[in-house]
Amino acid sequence: MDLGVLLTALLLLAAAVAGWFRLDPHPHKSRALEILVAGLRAAVQLALVSVVVAWAVRSLPGLLAFLCLMYGVAVRTAGRRLTSNGTWWLAAAPIAAGVVPVVAALLLTGLVPLKGIALIPVTGILIGGALTVTVLAGRRALDELSQRHGEVEAAMALGFADRDARMEIARPAASDALLPGLDQTRTVGLVTLPGAFVGMLLAGAGPVLAGAVQLFVLIALMAVQSVAVAVTLELVARHLLYRPLPDAQTASPHKTKRLNAHWRRAAPVSRGD
C-alpha cells in the first residue's frame, strides 16, 4: 500500500512539474499527459511481463517469442520517434546490428547460458541501450540536416557525393548519442551504482562478482551502442531513413514522391545553378 501511494505521488509530481513549466514540444502535445500515460502503461506492462517471463524462462519457444517481442517493440518505438513516413522500420537495422553479434558472442562463449532467466535480462539491457542511442543519433542527425540543408547542398555543389555531404553535417551531431553511455561508464561506482551491481548485491552475490557483472554489462553496452549509432548515421547519410519534407506534409502522394526525388537530385541541380 505504501509503495502504491508513493509511486502515485511521484508520478503526479512529475506530471505537475511538466505541466506547470510547460515542458511541451509544441502547443498540441502535452508532456504532462505523456508522463501520466507512460507511468500507467509501465505498471500494466510490468504486471503482464511478470506473468509472461515466468512462462518464458521455462520454455525455449516462449523465450524466443519474448525476445522477438522485445525487439519488435524497440524497433517500432525507435522508428516512430525518428520519422512519420514509411522508412521508420529501418530502425530495425541499427538495433539488430548492435545487439545480435554481442548476444551471439555471449552464447557461443558460454558467458550467458541459453536460459530465459539469464538471457532475457541481458538481452533486454542491450536492446534498451540500442533503442536509446538509435533514437538520439537519428533525431540529432535528422534535425541537423534539416537546419543546415543549405550547407549540404553547398557541399554537393563543390563535388561531394550525396552521402558524404550529409555525413559531414550529421556525424558530429549523431555522435553525441554516445555521451550518456560514456558518462555512465566513466562515473560508475563514483556517482551511481547501476542496476546490475545493486541487483546482484541484493541477491546475495559478493561485491567482486557483482562488480565484474556490471563491468561486463557496461562494456557490452558501449559496443552495442557504438554499432547502433554507426548504422543509424549511415542510413541517414544515405537518405534511406529520412523525414518527409515540410512541403510534403500536406501534399498529394504524387507530389510528395516528386519532392523526395528532387531532394535526391539536389547535387546535380545545385551544380547547374
* pLDDT tops 90 at residue 72: yes
* pLDDT tops 90 at residue 53: no
Adjacent-strand bridge partners of 26 = 29
Helix (H, G, I), strand (E, B) or coil at 188: strand
Mean pLDDT across the stretch 243-259? 56
Q: Please provide the average confidence, as pLDDT, over all residues in the chain.
A: 87
Q: How far is CA 145 from CA 52, 85, 178, in A?
A: 42, 17, 19
User: Distance between CA 31 and CA 53 in Å, rounded?
Assistant: 31
Query: What's the confidence (pLDDT) of residue 160?
Result: 92
Query: What's the confidence (pLDDT) of residue 268?
Result: 45
User: Distance between CA 166 and CA 238 in Å, rounded?
Assistant: 8
Q: Which of 41, 213, 236 is nearest to 122 (CA)?
A: 213
* pLDDT tops 60 at residue 272: no
Query: What's the confidence (pLDDT) of residue 247?
Result: 55
Mean pLDDT across the stretch 46-57? 84
Residue range 73-115, pLDDT digits in tens: 999 999 999 999 999 999 999 999 999 999 999 889 887 888 8
Let me know the angle formed at the C-alpha of 234 by 232 and 235, rounded to the nearest 5 degrees.
65
Output phi, psi for 252, to 5 deg: -70, 160
Adjacent-strand bridge partners of 195 = none
- In this prediction, residue 37 has a pLDDT band, given cuts at 50, 70 and 90, of very high
* pLDDT tops 60 at residue 264: no
Sign of torsion over alpha carbons 66, 71, 76, 78 = positive
Helix intervals (H) in the chain = 2-20, 31-56, 60-82, 92-109, 116-147, 149-157, 162-175, 179-187, 195-202, 207-237, 253-264, 266-272
Mean pLDDT across the stretch 241-253? 65
Tell me, what amino acid is at 65? A
Helix (H, G, I), strand (E, B) or coil at 110: coil
User: Distance between CA 171 and CA 176 in Å, rounded?
Assistant: 9
Mean pLDDT across the stretch 30-55? 91
User: Distance between CA 120 and CA 218 in Å, rounded?
Assistant: 17
Cell numbers linked to 28: 498540441
Residue range 156-205, pLDDT digits in tens: 999 999 999 999 999 999 999 999 999 999 998 888 777 777 777 766 77
Query: What's the confidence (pLDDT) of residue 213?
Result: 80
Least confident window among 2-6, 165-169, 260-264: 260-264
The backbone region for 241, taken as left when phi is positive above 0, alpha when psi lies in -120 to 50, beta otherwise, is beta
For residue 262, the Cα-to-chain-centroid distance in whole angstroms is 30
Query: What's the confidence (pLDDT) of residue 258?
Result: 53
User: Distance between CA 167 and CA 178 in Å, rounded?
Assistant: 17
pLDDT over 90 percentage in the chain: 61
